[in-house]
Amino acid sequence: MFGRKPKDGAAEAEERQGFFKRLRSRLNRGNSWLTYDLASLFRGRQIDAQILEELETRLLTADVGVEATEDILAGLRKRVARKELADVEALINALRDAIVEILEPCARPLEIDGSRKPFVILVVGVNGSGKTTTIGKLARRLADDGRSVVLAAGDTFRAAAIEQLQVWAERSGAGFIAQRAGADPGAVVFDALQSARSRGADVLLADTAGRLHSQSHLMEELKKVKRVVQRVEPSAPHEVLLVLDANQGQNALSQAIQFHEAIGVTGIALTKLDGTAKGGIVLAIARRLGLPIRFIGIGEQPQDFGEFDARAFAAALVEGPREAAGGSEPAP
């Protein structure tokens, strides 16, 4: 089951291309996204202070945040003053470059260190952010790469959470370790780690609850799970992956700050970028926290999930959905 050979270069390139196309069309679904139709909105206009002000408002409305917006605008204003931006196309290209500059330092893919067996990934985030789905998608991806995976049902707060994870485990052929609802999450993850070790699994993905009696209870519990893991394997967890829902906008940023302070986040997965008007939060998070953004989610299916690529993301953002159809013709 796990012996599948890693994909060859061509297949991988094709898959990336497919994901990029979907990213473009999904990111720009609806008419409220950051730069939707920027080209037609600005077409034929002077590149002047007025147009930059409108762009500024758009960025702020899309939850890009004050800091990142100011960075972008400062750069553009300089270039306008130097008369470097003659037309809308030049402005959009400059905007794309400015976005890449902010995102690039955060586009650091998750590398599974093969010498850690299992490589332990603790998945955290508030309820409904997409933790369990992200684990399922990631398990599938890892299995496709020929890695053996074990899932730990560390969200014992809701019985349905355990079943939901089990479905994903079955779909991806991953091992599955759970106890009854209400069990101690630390104990579940402890068991799962022992089991993953004894079967020589490559990766352990541990789900956690998103809601407890209070936010401080949640943080305390996560700290405890982390301590338990470290008792078995001092180098673990090798990744604390924070799952954030892009629809949450500025709230996602506050969550990131809070989780990072409490348990130390090493990577972010940003979900639900399909059809949100607040996806600019990627820029706010990158600018403010500088944490690696490992993955993005653009839908509910396993294939709606990919590594975060700063250039592809910025291009999808500013070029709009039309390009997704394959044509590069400007809109009428």
Ligand X SMILES: Nc1nc2c(ncn2[C@@H]2O[C@H](COP(=O)(O)OP(=O)(O)OP(=O)(O)O)[C@@H](O)[C@H]2O)c(=O)[nH]1
Task: For the CB of residue 305, give the shortest distance to ligand X in the complex, in Å.
Answer: 7
Does 248 interact with Mg ion (rule: CB under 5 A)? Answer: no
In order of 74, 75, 90, the CA distances from 85 in angstroms are 14, 11, 5
Q: Which residue has the tokens 């470290």?
A: 230
Nearer Cβ to ligand X (55/174): 174
Residues 136-165 within binding reach of Mg ion (CB under 5 A): 161
Task: For the CB of residue 191, give the shortest distance to ligand X in the complex, in Å.
Answer: 20
Nearer Cβ to Mg ion (135/317): 135
Give the tokens for residue 28. Answer: 């720009």
Task: For the CB of residue 124, give the shortest distance to ligand X in the complex, in Å.
Answer: 9
Among 28, 69, 132, 247, which residue interacts with Mg ion (rule: CB under 5 A)? 132
Enclosing H/E stretch for 176:
strand 175-177
DSSP lists the bridge partners of residue 203 as: 119, 149
Does 271 interact with Mg ion (rule: CB under 5 A)? Answer: no
Q: Binds 274, which of Mg ion, ligand X, none (CB < 5 to 8 A, cut-off by type)?
A: ligand X
Task: For the CB of residue 207, give the shortest distance to ligand X in the complex, in Å.
Answer: 7
Reduced to 3 states (helix: H, G, I; strand: E, B; else coil), residue 270 is strand
Q: In what order do the strands lie in the sheet with 203-206?
A: 175-177, 149-152, 203-206, 119-124, 239-245, 267-271, 293-297, 305-307
Give the tokens for residue 243. Answer: 């799952």
Residues interacting with ligand X, by CB under 6 A? 125, 127-133, 155, 161, 210, 243, 271-272, 274, 297-300, 304
Task: For the CB of residue 201, give the shortest distance to ligand X in the complex, in Å.
Answer: 22
DSSP letters for 73-117: HHHHHHHHHTT---SHHHHHHHHHHHHHHHHGGG-------TTSS
Nearer Cβ to ligand X (96/131): 131
Nearer Cβ to ligand X (94/244): 244
Distance of alpha carbon 244 from alpha carbon 324, whole angstroms: 26
Nearer Cβ to Mg ion (134/266): 134
Interface residue list for Mg ion (CB under 5 A): 131-132, 161
